[in-house]
């Protein structure tokens, strides 16, 4: 039913699709390597509805509802971490400014996980719900969705209130 995060993966050599979304929610496959510098093959022009279009791509094919932009032209990181060089350049203008274990915004989420979750490595609270990204990831919340008003343990105290009072949002 299609949604998820597949950032920074290699999609290459598949016979039909590198990523095929069967639902309507968008799959995040940004910073993926598609088997060719030109990116994935996407002949379906759905840009008017917020989708993507890359008919000149020579890499593995993608279906609609797959966000693959930006992609990387090579599957490796040249500085020996697990963060794609292009992501590092997009956010830090350098491929050596961060490592897997660095935490530039000091939110408790390493820069490797900032990349993996799709959060902003320069903002402690990427989506602005009042809880730092690292806290949300540690509580198994989604740090790119505003879930501060939700109540994970159904005790009538919001996730944000539990965070602010240092109580456990998973223990009623």
Residue range 72-97, pLDDT digits in tens: 876 667 887 888 888 899 899 998 88
Q: What percent of the chain has pLDDT over 70?
A: 97
Closest to 35 (Cα-Cα) out of 55, 16, 18, 54: 18
**Token pair recorded at residue 141:** 């919340």
pTM: 0.68
Render pLDDT for 24-41 as a digit per residue (tens, 0 to 9): 888 999 988 999 888 999
What count of other Cβ atoms lies within 10 Å of the Cβ of residue 159? 23
Helix (H) or strand (E) holding 28, with range, is strand 27-28
Residue 107 clears pLDDT 80, i.e. is over it: yes
Residue 105 clears pLDDT 60, i.e. is over it: yes
Dihedral angle computed from the Cα positions of residues 64, 69, 72 and 77, in that order, rounded to the nearest 10 degrees? -110
159, 151 contact by CB (below 8 A) = yes
Residue 129 clears pLDDT 80, i.e. is over it: yes
pLDDT (mean) for 54-60:
93
* Residue 8: predicted pLDDT: 84
pLDDT (mean) for 42-53:
86
Closest to 20 (Cα-Cα) out of 84, 58, 64: 64
Dihedral sign, CA of 64, 74, 96, 136? positive
Q: What percent of the chain has pLDDT over 90?
A: 59
Report the alpha-carbon distance of residue 87 to residue 170 in Å, rounded.
33
34, 57 contact by CB (below 8 A) = yes
Q: Which residue has the higher pLDDT, 145 or 73?
A: 145
* Residue 75: predicted pLDDT: 64
* Residue 1: predicted pLDDT: 43
* Residue 3: predicted pLDDT: 58
Report the alpha-carbon distance of residue 56 to residue 43 in Å, rounded.
8
Classify residue 54 by its DSSP letter. Answer: B
pLDDT (mean) for 18-29:
90
């Amino acid at each position: 039913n299609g949604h998820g995060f597949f950032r920074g993966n290699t999609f290459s050599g598949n016979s039909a699709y590198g990523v095929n979304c069967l639902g309507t929610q968008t799959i995040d496959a940004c910073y993926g390597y598609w088997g060719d510098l030109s990116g994935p093959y996407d002949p379906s022009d759905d840009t008017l509805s917020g989708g993507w279009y890359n008919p000149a791509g020579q890499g593995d094919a993608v279906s609609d509802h797959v966000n693959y932009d930006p992609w990387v032209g090579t599957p490796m990181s040249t500085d020996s971490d697990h963060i794609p060089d292009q992501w590092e350049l997009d956010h830090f203008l350098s491929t050596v400014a961060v490592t897997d274990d660095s935490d530039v915004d000091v939110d408790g989420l390493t820069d490797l996980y900032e990349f993996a979750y799709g959060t902003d490595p320069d903002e402690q609270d990427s989506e602005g719900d009042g809880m730092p990204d690292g806290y949300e990831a540690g509580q198994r919340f989604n740090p790119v969705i505003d879930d501060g008003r939700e109540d994970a343990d159904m005790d009538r105290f919001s996730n944000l209130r539990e965070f602010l009072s240092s109580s456990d949002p998973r223990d009623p």
